[in-house]
């Protein structure tokens, strides 16, 4: 194995997207498709673990002064704040 720097979340996600596009084309031999699928599963798991770690860090940062978790709804910057949603 090389001693290269670990991939960032973004680079792993980009590689996963590339693999998905290549598999969706459906023009690969079975063996190559399996190799790419295995790589994709590994990347997906790595990305999910990084997201889980980020969530845990956020939960720690979002505690009140007694150390209790504080749940707040996520407000997207595009939200109008009027409580309405775009579904209707």
pLDDT, mean of residues 26-51: 96
DSSP lists the bridge partners of residue 63 as: 69
pTM recorded for the entire structure: 0.65
Q: How far apart are CA 3 and CA 88, in angstroms?
A: 52
Q: Please say whether the beta carbons of 23 and 44 come within 8 A.
A: no
| Predicted pLDDT of residue 42 | 96
pLDDT category at 76 given cuts 50, 70, 90 is low
- What CATH number labels 9-61? 1.10.287.1040
pLDDT in tens, 9-24: 999 999 999 999 999 9
């Amino acid at each position: 194995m090389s001693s290269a720097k670990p991939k960032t979340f973004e680079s792993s996600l980009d590689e996963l997207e590339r693999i998905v596009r290549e598999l969706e084309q459906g023009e690969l031999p079975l063996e190559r498709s399996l190799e790419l699928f295995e790589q994709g599963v590994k990347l997906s798991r790595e990305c999910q673990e990084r997201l889980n770690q980020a969530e845990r860090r956020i939960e720690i940062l979002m505690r009140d002064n007694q150390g209790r978790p504080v749940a707040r709804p996520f407000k997207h910057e595009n939200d109008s704040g009027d409580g309405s949603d775009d579904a209707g």
